Chain A
Amino acid sequence: MNFSLMISPSDLLLLLPEIILTVWLCLILIIDFSFPRFPNEQLAYLSITGLGATLGCLAWLSAGHVTGALFANMFVLDGMALFFKMLIVGSTILVILASIDYVHRFKFFRGEYYFLIVMAALGMMFMASANDLLSVFVTLEFSTFGFYVLVAYLREDMASNEAGIKFFILGVFAAGLLAYGLSLVYGETGQLVFSNMKLTEVTPGLAIGFLLIFGALGFKIGAVPFHSWIPDTYHGSPTPVTAFLSIAPKGAAFAILLRMFFIALVAFKPIWVLLLVAASVLSMTYGNIVAIAQKNMKRLLAYSGIAQIGNVLIGLAAGTKMGNDAILFYLLTYLFANLGAFAVIIAVSEAIGSEEIHDYSGLGRRSPFLAFSMLVFLLSLAGVPPLAGFVGKLYIFVAAMKEGLYVLISVGLINIVISMYYYLIVVKKMYITEPHDSSSIRVSGPIKAVLYVCLAGTLIIGIYPQPFTDWVVSATMMFSGLADSPLTVIPPTISNP
């Protein structure tokens, strides 16, 4: 392994999105510190501009099919990395838009809030590209670092502090597991890069090592039995942070999971399928059943998120290229539905100061637009046609059906019905129960923009998914040989000196 720090200008192209965002990050921090009177609303739009430029750059790279690896395969840019980066940057833009009103609740450090969000996004972008053990650890911690602060941002609020402490302690614990797992795997194989590990037989060290890594990543995505931080942290965090936490880190962690399972561990598929089936069944069933009892919207979505991750794991358990396509597609549909639902929660809590389901009574009369948006997002999460979530679920089921995972599909289908119950409870509150107070609710501009984007995404993907399925299929081209032979290194189109 000859490690070279010489970077040619053409290599910089692969890093261009990250470079843009890093420069922008510094800019935000400098402006915030140098001009204390700079209105933080402007700072938000400034961050969005930078993220927009990054998104544009990613789209340009994606359109040009630019792929390659840097730093001795430590950093890899391929279709999948680009997809997840776009997912992350897109969700960051929506989260910042949704935060603009919410930021007034913070007494201090309003400027740094945007800085931290963008920094977490940057960390997750690196995560999507992480291709060896070392970069997995560094990028994972890099992205989590921002979240540790963000979760506890409401300093006066005990729930937020509790959320921060819980998230921090469990997060650090997971990081410890991860480091231990990585060291075991390195010790067994002597390799850092996933694609160089020529694994043929299972040794105890290897098995424990990968289990620990799976545990740490399972913590990130919130799969049962690594889910225990989710409800309290989601409940206590500032709502935009919860929204961010509910989608972006999951996407980034799935990028690593896909690389780990389908590049390093592809030879052991019959073994890890069982692990994923168990995690999937537990996540779906636990998440959906516990969600029924929730009284708080954010907790409801926390448990529903656990269940949704169970659905995504069905696609991972399928272990085929189609399964991976379905995962990417599902996460895309989940992005719009989930962020949209959180945006509605933000708008409602701005107006009535409550996140309890009970206080959603009569929302259909108080704000038809908000109620309709919530209806669409919840039904998409439940998987009702013609919304995006239905196509996502069906895609996953079809992929799993082709692999003959009948039990998993049956559990998934039954869970759709269970989930419909608690989503409809919210719908009932919004539309059928009469309001306690019939004053109408005003929705601010930025939230409206988020809601329009999410509604458009949910409806368009549901009604005409073809362009999006094409996109995810081309994004996972790297797995196209999955059924036949294990994958080798991604051929770098831009050579490394």
Chain B
Amino acid sequence: MSDYALLYILFAPFLGAIALIFVSNRELMLVRGIAAGSAFVSLLSSLYLFYAYDYVKGGFQFVQKFEWSHQLGISLHLGVDGIGTPLVLASSILLFAGIFVSWHIKDRTKEFYIWLLILAAATIGVFMSLDLFFLYFFYEMSVIPMYLLLGMWGSHTKKYNEMTDPEGLKLRDSVGFIYNFGSNSKEYAAMKLVLFLSAFAVAALMGILLIYKYAGLNTFDILVLREHANLMHIPVLGTTLDKIIWLLIFFGFASIAPLWPLHSWSPVGHAAAPAATSMLHAGVLMKLGHFSIIRVAFEILPETTRELMPIAAVLCMFSIVYGGFVAYYAKDTKYVIGYSSSSHMGYVFLGMAALDYISLTGAVMYMFAHAMATGMLFAMAGWVYDQTHTRDIPSLGGLANRMPFISGCFVIGCMASIGVPGTINFIAEVMIIVGSWEKYPFQVIVAVVGIVLTLAYLFKMMRGIFYGPMSPNYSHAHDAVSAVDRLPLLIMITVSIGFFFFPMHLYNVVRSGVDPLIAKITRVVPLADAGAGQRLEVRGDGGVPLADFPVPITASPVSGGQP
């Protein structure tokens, strides 16, 4: 098992999807069984992966390499480092939970599970690709299932246009309204999502092709490119090529993250999507953006990253504040959670932008933590919608009487999302804030304001749905009582709380991936045993190739390298 763990994780959902093609929709339990079974194989393997990852050794482990096309220099090169490992785990947890969350889907169940499995498998594929071609391949592959999942099993946001803010003014997606023109159908949401993501994905593809061409190595292999590609100092169009490539890659992938001006597809998509899809979408699909930026831009263009990453530091503030305010005024449960997700992704950008050991580790841990928190919230919003057929917060209320279990879990979900001590989000948030304080104090203040905003809108939503007087319309709504309905929530809660009490393995794993990366980018070397906060500043001049730069790290080798 040890060598093939990645193949099991990646191909179990694909094979499950293929097996489902041959099953009739009438055999409902068999369909669900196959879907859950293949997700379970994936989950077990990724748990094994997570705990078997050797963080002392660091670097890329469990590497698999198969020649795919030697004319184009492409190979199916899979491997995970400390950054990919927790995200693979998060994806397979959310896939497994998502299968149970969508247990009651009656319409075309088989097709739903097929597309859900393909979506999750493609996402997992990105997290383990060590080849630029396959990174893009899986990335783009994850977009199309979203279209069908949103379109076929999603829901319109019918009341969106009639919703008003406290003054009675029409509330709309403010800035997003410019290119949202009041449309609120699921078809619109699905089309917008696919076109938006594809448009930015091809920008990233252009960047990838430029890397391929100017590296001149006839390969898409990230490990080869990061060691040997010399893309610096090529003048082009009044600037240098590496900057153009970096910007293409950064904005290409930041659209799915979603960074502030490129976010408008995301809440619309969340709102239209069925619960399990929203979970995967907000939980892991968004992290594809951060992850791909780390994997491509950080790895291959470290110097440029150091120069241009302040862009992210500026934009992340807008993400945090804008997302927070819209979430506060939104009246649709899924819009609130959707905007809260896009606001929280700003923290990850802040952590990345600071280019600090602590903050980047915090950012990666936050991705993991946020996957669990937002997964919970979307799962419960989906449950409430299934029971009441509305997501309009003002018309809901008092549901805690009808669904004590869900409302209890919802409180935990909100706590996790806010980052209350007791959940892994707290640790991650603190690390981001502490890590970036030195470099971006103003942004940190904004982030703290963002936390207060999170508190405000989530508590407001919680009160609106579960407390206060209950409308008699919802007296038929019932709680999640069966094991199948409770299982996904319990899994995510356990993970979220469990890692708060035992965070060291997660921290060590992430740190082993972050260390060589930050050392390469900033040339600030951590003294692993010399206690926190103490650093050795090493300033190299820009012209020295990094490969020649000796980096003394005791914990993990800088080059990462293949085992």
Contact = CB atoms under 8 A, between A and B. Distances in A.
B133 A424 contact: no
Contacts of B138: 385
B147 A416 contact: no
Contacts, number: 86
A417 B202 contact: yes
A299 to B, nearest CB: 21
A310 B14 CA distance: 34
B482 interface: no
Interface string B188-214: 001100110011001101100110110
A386 B140 CA distance: 9
A451 to B, nearest CB: 14
B144 interface: yes
Contacts of B190: 428, 432
A464 B67 CA distance: 10
B213 A325 contact: no
Contacts of A420: 194-195, 198
Interface string B422-465: 00000000000000000000000000000000000000000000
Contact of B69 (A368, A401, A466): A466
Interface residues of B, number: 36
Contact of B144 (A379, A391, A395, A421): A379
B140 A384 contact: yes
Given A401-B212, A413-B205, A466-B70, A427 B141 contact: no
A386 B67 CA distance: 16
A428 B151 contact: yes
Interface string B211-223: 0110000000000
B473 interface: no
B495 interface: no
Given A428-B151, A431-B152, A432-B151, A409 B209 contact: yes
A398 B209 contact: yes
A427 B198 contact: no
B137 A386 contact: yes
A384 B140 CA distance: 7
A87 B260 CA distance: 49
B71 interface: yes
B199 A469 contact: no
Contact of A404 (B70, B148, B151, B213): B213
Interface in A372-416: 379, 384-386, 390-391, 394-395, 397-398, 401-402, 404, 409-410, 413-414, 416
A469 B69 contact: yes
A414 B141 contact: no
B208 to A, nearest CB: 10
Interface string B147-188: 110011000000000000000000000000000000000110
Interface in B493-547: none
A113 to B, nearest CB: 36
Contacts of B212: 398, 401
A322 interface: yes
A427 B147 contact: yes
B68 A417 contact: no
Contacts of B481: none
B302 to A, nearest CB: 23
A469 B68 CA distance: 10
Q: Which of A325, A402, A432 has the most CB of B within 10 A?
A: A432
A213 interface: no
A384 B201 CA distance: 12
Given A417-B202, A473-B71, A428 B141 contact: no
B137 A385 contact: yes
A465 interface: yes
A469 B69 CA distance: 8
A459 to B, nearest CB: 11
A384 B209 contact: no
Nearest to A391: B69
A385 B141 contact: yes
Contacts of B234: none
B141 A384 contact: yes
A322 B213 CA distance: 14
A426 to B, nearest CB: 12
Nearest to B25: A368
B72 interface: yes
A413 B147 contact: no
A41 B28 CA distance: 41
Contacts of A384: 140-141, 143-144
B71 A325 contact: yes
A395 B209 CA distance: 11
Contacts of A397: 205, 209
Contacts of A427: 147-148, 151
Contacts of B136: 385
Contacts of B198: 416-417, 420
B206 A410 contact: yes
Contacts of A404: 213
Contacts of A413: 202-203, 205-206
Nearest to A468: B69
A409 B207 CA distance: 11
A223 to B, nearest CB: 23
B202 A469 contact: no
Contact of B137 (A390, A410, A469): A390
B213 A394 contact: no
Given A379-B144, A401-B213, A417-B202, A428 B70 contact: no
A346 B169 CA distance: 53
A368 B107 CA distance: 13
Contacts of B203: 413
B152 A432 contact: yes
A325 B70 CA distance: 13
Q: Which of B69, B70, B111 has the most CB of A within 10 A?
A: B69
B140 A385 contact: yes
Interface in B460-478: none
A431 B202 contact: no
A401 B212 CA distance: 9
A397 B133 CA distance: 12
B147 A424 contact: yes
A322 B70 CA distance: 13
Contacts of B141: 384-386
Interface in B22-73: 67-72
B72 A398 contact: yes
Nearest to A400: B209
Contacts of B202: 413-414, 416-417
A214 to B, nearest CB: 28
B557 to A, nearest CB: 33
A420 B192 CA distance: 11
Contacts of A432: 151-152, 186-187, 190
A417 B195 contact: yes
A417 B148 contact: no
Contacts of A431: 148, 151-152
Contacts of B144: 379, 384
Q: Which of B133, B143, B213 has the most CB of A within 10 A?
A: B213
A368 B72 CA distance: 36
Contacts of A394: 72, 133
B128 to A, nearest CB: 16
B206 A402 contact: no
B133 to A, nearest CB: 7
B71 A322 contact: yes
A274 B308 CA distance: 36
Contacts of A386: 137, 141
B187 A428 contact: yes
A424 B209 contact: no
Contacts of B199: 414, 417
A-B interface, 4 closest residue pairs, ranked by CB to CB distance from nearest = A413-B202, A432-B151, A385-B137, A417-B199
14 contacts: A325-B71, A368-B111, A379-B144, A384-B140, A385-B140, A395-B72, A414-B202, A416-B198, A424-B191, A428-B190, A432-B152, A466-B68, A470-B71, A473-B71
Given A394-B133, A398-B209, A469-B69, 9 more contacts: A368-B111, A395-B71, A398-B212, A401-B213, A413-B205, A417-B195, A431-B152, A432-B186, A469-B71
